[in-house]
Structure 1
Amino acid sequence: MKEFQILHKLIHIFKEKEIRQFERTGLSGKELYVLQHIRTDDPWRFNDFAEHYCIKPSTLTGIVSRLENKGLVKRERTEKDRKAVYLYCTSSGRDLGRKHIEEDKLFFHSLLSTLEPQEKEQFIGLTKKITDNPEHCQQQ
């Protein structure tokens, strides 16, 4: 099987996972991605979040608006810095984010179940090397 066919097969597996998650939660893959990273107890400054996770601020604005309309996140300004917007998860947002992470762990375990322990380590190491490449952070 040629490399691009393998890549497309892997992409298909992840798209199917995203479709199942949308059917269950009503949230897109990007919405779940943002939610799982906002769900910490500490608020995220909007611009810091966008930069850290390589998301264009305009894209993040739309995602956060949809999550806010669903009661999963909220935006607030502080008296100290009225220009800065901070992102918080609501309790239902934290719960959904936690469930999403658990589902991802099960999916990942299932995905790698055919690999030997050494192969899993190699796969994780190679995937990390690819995803840590700063050229892939083009503010999607």
Structure 2
Amino acid sequence: MSDPTEDQLVALGTAFETFARRYKLADALRSERPLAELDKAVLLYVAEHAGCGPTDVARFLGVPTTTLSSATDRLAKRGFLKRERIEADRRAVALTLSEAGAAYAQAQVETYRRMYMLMLSRLSPDERDRFIAMITKIVYNDG
């Protein structure tokens, strides 16, 4: 396989920058102050894994526990995240979303869904399948 050309790199970069800008603009239209990308990722993980521990989230996201601690502090201060001690092990903490956190996470999922719909609706059914296969190959190819 040959290396990508400079033109291909520029075209891909331009497309990704435009995509990111559109996403950020859609996020900025929300009434409340947007969350940092890490905070959103934490919120979405906890939404899917209620009662998980901070170490679980840090491991999944590939960030140091100190970085995750800062994110959970920010989310708790905004009233999105609850940290509760586990009775069986008072040193352990279980993370859950507050009602506001769950609503924010759901709104975020809906925002992503609308973006995916916009992206895929511009492609034919065959192109959609090929695009998804290519993105999956890029994301999950370990070498």
Task: Tell me whether the two structures share a fold, i.e. TM-score over 0.5.
Answer: yes
> What is the distance in 2 between the residues matched to 1:134 and 1:76?
36
When normalised by structure 1's length, the TM-score is 0.83
SS of 2:48's equivalent in the other structure is coil
- In the alignment, structure 2 segments of 5+ residues that lack a partner are 1-5
| Aligned CA-pair RMSD | 2.1
Does the CA contact (< 8 Å) of 1:35 and 1:89 recur in 2? yes
Task: Tell me what 2:57 maps to.
Answer: 49
> What is the distance in 2 between the residues matched to 1:73 and 1:88?
6
What is the Cα deviation at residue 108 of structure 1?
Answer: 1.0
Q: Percent identity?
A: 25
Task: Tell me what 2:106 maps to.
Answer: 98
> What is the distance in 1 between the residues matched to 2:134 and 2:43?
26
SS of 2:91's equivalent in the other structure is coil
Task: Tell me what 2:140 maps to.
Answer: 132
Quickly say closer, same or farther: Cα 1:80–1:31, change in 2 above 3 A: same
Equivalent residue for 1:64, pick from 61, 72, 85: 72
SS of 2:50's equivalent in the other structure is coil
- In the alignment, structure 1 segments of 5+ residues that lack a partner are 136-140
The answer to whether structure 1 residue 8 and structure 2 residue 16 are counterparts is no
**RCO greater where, 1 or 2, for CA within 8 Å and sep 6 or more?**
1
Does the CA contact (< 8 Å) of 2:81 and 2:101 recur in 1? yes
What is the Cα deviation at residue 77 of structure 1?
Answer: 1.9
Equivalent residue for 1:36, pick from 22, 44, 60: 44
Equivalent residue for 1:77, pick from 66, 70, 85: 85
Name the larger-Rg structure: 2
SS of 1:43's equivalent in the other structure is coil
Task: Tell me what 1:20 maps to.
Answer: 26
Equivalent residue for 1:86, pick from 72, 89, 94: 94
> What is the distance in 2 between the residues matched to 1:51 and 1:41?
13
How many pairs does the alignment contain?
135
State the one-letter code of the partner of 2:89.
Answer: D
